[in-house]
Amino acid sequence: MSTTQFLEPHRYRIGGTFEADGWREPLALLDPFVVVDHFRMSVPAFAPHPHAGFSAVTYVFDDSQTGMISRDSLGGLHTIAPGGLHWTVAGRGVIHDEFPAEPGRQVHGLQIFVNLPADQKLCAPAVMRLAPQEMPRRSGEGWRAVQVFGPEAGLALPSPASLLLADIDAGAAFDFLLPPGEQGFAIAIRGGGHVGGQPLAAGGGFALPLGASARVVADDDLRLACFCGRPLHEPVVRHGPFVMSDEGQVVAALHRFQSGAMGRLCPRQLQATQQQGTSS
């Protein structure tokens, strides 16, 4: 267990309606993940915004009070139900917008940025989705797990990456095992426990190097989000909503956004009016 490195989140708030524990560093330990935010929000916190060079992933926990609406410049308008997954491969650029399906009711979820390999940075944007009932499930003594995304979940991901959500009963143990050639990290969503004799509290996390494993013992009912993936070991240049390989790609992405090459989103109010007119 000497290989285990404990991680502390960066806690932040936007207005009074969006709060999150965020993981962004050290990037080498998170690779191929760039950002993971464990968030709660009850009203729209962000205006429509662009993304390019990575996959923007939203998972809504099954205990969320409401789902999430996701709009994009590809023409998509989707509801992410509690327990559901929405995966946007931003590629060369897309504009999207996400907000609670029912204003005033809280969405509890994960916002995850997964880096794209250098040779896929300019791929065509695309959207993939999984409903809760489509996610593989398994269980052991004192624990139950959902494969939110990964090899068993049926999505054609740009590179190997997975998220396993494990619910561990108080007093039970769960083994977080990494596949060969992959590294990973885990976040305690609620509850607490111990890893290698060291305490793990809600909001805390730990990282494991290539091919390692960790036994997590729950002190009380513990929900653990376990991430793993094949590290890309490639240069990363981040600029706001863009994750590219070099500064020239960032400048080109900004130009595509400013010139309208990433598409457009009409205002939410106008879209709602158009939908009402279509359904009447």
CATH code of the domain containing 167: 2.60.120.10
Report how far apart, in Å, the C-alpha atoms of 78 and of each of 43, 84, 244 are.
Answer: 17, 11, 27
Answer yes or no: is 269 within a domain. no
Q: How many domains does the chain have?
A: 1
Give the domain extent around 19: 5-264
Is 276 among the domain residues? no
The answer to whether residue 85 is domain-embedded is yes
What average pLDDT does range 243-247 have in this prediction? 98
17-68 per-position pLDDT tens digit: 889 999 998 999 999 999 999 999 998 888 899 999 999 999 999 999 999 9
**Residue 272 in this model has a pLDDT that exceeds 70:** no
pTM reported for the whole predicted model: 0.93
Residue 47: per-residue pLDDT: 87
Residue 273 lies in a domain: no
Residue 149 lies in a domain: yes
Mean pLDDT (the chain) is: 93
Q: What is the pLDDT of residue 68?
A: 97
User: DSSP labels for 43-95?
Assistant: S--S--EEEBSEEEEEEE-TT-SS-EEEEETTS-EEEE-TT-EEEEE-TT-EE
Is residue 279 assigned to a domain? no
| pLDDT computed for residue 268 by the predictor | 60
Over the stretch 154-201, which tens digit does the pLDDT of each residue have? 899 999 999 999 999 999 999 999 999 999 999 999 999 999 889 999
In which order are the strands placed within the sheet that holds 213-218?
Answer: 173-177, 213-218, 193-195, 198-200
